[in-house]
Each structure stands twice: as C-alpha cells, then as structure tokens.
Amino acid sequence: MNKTITFLAKDLGKKIRLDKYLADNLNDFTRSQIKKIILSKNIKLNKKLINSASEKVKNDDLIEVSFPDKTNKDLKPKKINLDIVYEDNDLIIINKKSGLVVHPGAGNQDETLVNGLMYLYKNNLSNINGDFRPGIVHRIDKDTSGLIVVAKNNQTHNSLSEQFSNHSIKRKYLALVWGVVRPLTGKITTLISRSKKNRQLMTVSERLGKKAITNYKTLKTFSSKEIPRMSLIECILETGRTHQIRVHLAYKGNPLIGDKKYGKKKQKFKKINLKFEKILSSFDRQALHAKSLGFFHPVKKKFLDFDSKLPSDFKKILDFLDKFGN
C-alpha cells in the first residue's frame, strides 16, 4: 500500500533543487532514499510526474510524494503516560515530557507519542499526515518538553495547519542559555538550512534556506563566583523551522544548556558550586520548554490559550539559580 505526503512550497528565497527541498522536509529519509523515490517516478510536481532530482521547486509549487508505507496495522498501540492538558471532540493538548519522540521513525517504532495516542484513541485521529503520523499537526524535539496540539479530525487538522503556515499560532518557549544574550531583548532573523557537513543538523545560512524569525526577551540573568553566567530567555516564534530556537541561540553565541547537538561539547569550570555541578550533570537534555500555545479553535470559533508548568528537572535548576539571579 502506498501513502502520499503533500507539500505546498513556501518561504523559498529562490528556486531550489527538488532533492534538496525534499531532504529539508522529509526528515525521516536519507538523501539516497529520496533519490530512489524520485528515480522510481513516485514524485509529482504540480501534478506532473518527475524523475529528475535537479528539477527546480519554487514558491507555491505542489509536491506530492508517494512511497510504500506501513499501515496502522503495523503501528503498535502502547500504553504511555500522557499529560493531557485539554481535550474536546476536535483536538487534544498534551504537555509532552522530554525524551518522548513525537512519531515513529528510524530506531524508534514503539515508544512514541503516536503509539500512546493510538492506544487511547485508536483510529479517531486525523489521517492527513499518513498512517504513521495520525493526529500530528506539528512536532517538538525529543528532548524538548512542553505543549503540542493533536487533531482528532481532518477539518481541525487543516485549520491548525493553515494557522501554523500563516504564523498566527502563538508559541512561547522558555530557554536556559549560557552567558547573556546581547541585546537583552531582540529579534533574530536568518535563513536556516540543513547542514552540508551533517544532515542531522540545521545551520544559519546567508543565501540558502527558509526564513526563520525568533523574538526573545531576557527574563533573568544569573551570575556569581560560584556559578558560570547564565540567562533565562523567553522565545516567541514567528516561524517554526527545525531546531529553530536551538540554532538561533547558538548562532548568537548563547547555546542552550544541555544541548548535545548545538551546545558546548565539554564545559570546564575553574570554580563552581559542587551542588550545582551535580544538578547540571544530571540534566540530560537541552533546557527548552514549550510553555504556552494559543490558536483559534476551528469549531468553537474562539481563541484558546494554554500554559504549562515547568517540568521538575528544569525547575530544579531554576530553583537553585534563583539565589544568584538579577
């Protein structure tokens, strides 16, 4: 059985190759897998079959990708403890814990948010994103905690997707970073593309990539002889690129604490509070939490705004740092 994923090209600075566009948007596939799909004539560009990887894609082009897919029969429901913040007949708001992958992919087929959703809701979820991503409108990284919205039907899914596309969704994150971000309040606007050196990473690019905008505000700085300088930052997204906040803050020279991909590889401190060093060493993920989420409800026809508490591991660091805050 084949499944089809559809893309409407947006936010392209200029025309780009089809294989590059798909590599940037099909995160679960390698570049070689994408080339095989193209050569096997499983790609349509504006309803026309394409078998050339060098075909150019421009804004508003419709790309349809068909490939063999596992069905829901292969998707194993799994009882997973999900923190459901809100639920009605059309959607679910979940406060995702860190360490939980959103949907099945290479190396993780059974222990994901989707497996937990299938256990609770079976087939009562939207299917626009295919059988392996029921209900999934957007994602947050495995090691990022916080709010995510899930659609129960295709009408709701389409409306929420449109709100994400036109940037009307309100998303606020809390991030703990190394150093002090200068200026203390500002807007980061860059292009973000997949790294040429490592396809698993994203990077700021001067000419290629998608426009990414992050508004930030420093809520508190922490500094003393006992701890390295750190800052608690509030980030509001205008766009939602892969790893956007992590890439942007690293670009500013203030990577997230605990970020293994974009952060400082090895931290060495001349002097550090031993208790705090122990807390840091036990914090095994990036210090990023999707704290609030707001959108226009497709059926209730009103704006809903949700907020979430910080998870205990993040709160433990902040509770200790508060005595050094400014």
Cα distance between residue 82 and residue 102, in whole Å: 12
Same domain, 48 and 182: no
For 257, the domain range is: 171-290+312-324
* Ranges assigned E (strand) in 97-224: 145-151, 170-178, 185-194, 202-205, 210-222
pTM: 0.79
Number of domains in the chain: 3
143 is annotated as an active-site residue: no
Q: What is residue 108's three-state secondary structure? A: strand
Which of 25, 52, 68 lies at the terminal end of a domain, its last residue?
68
If residue 86 lies in a helix (H) or strand (E), which one and from where to where?
Answer: strand 84-87
Among residues 19, 24, 90, 141, the one annotated as catalytic is 141
Which CA distances in Å does 301 have to 91, 154, 156, 166, 295?
13, 16, 11, 17, 10
Same domain, 148 and 87: yes
Which of 131, 149, 166 lies at the terminal end of a domain, its last residue?
166
Same domain, 210 and 279: yes
Which of 142, 166, 190 lies at the terminal end of a domain, its last residue?
166
User: pLDDT tens digits for the chain (326 residues)?
Assistant: 466 788 888 888 788 899 888 888 876 666 777 887 888 888 899 999 988 888 999 999 999 888 655 445 567 889 999 999 999 999 999 999 999 999 877 666 678 999 999 999 988 999 887 777 889 999 999 999 999 999 999 999 999 999 998 889 999 999 999 999 999 999 999 999 988 888 789 999 988 888 999 999 999 999 888 888 999 999 999 999 999 999 999 999 999 999 999 987 666 666 677 888 888 888 999 999 999 999 999 999 999 999 999 999 999 999 999 887 66
- 306: in domain: no
Which CA distances in Å does 152 have to 66, 120, 198, 311?
24, 12, 36, 26
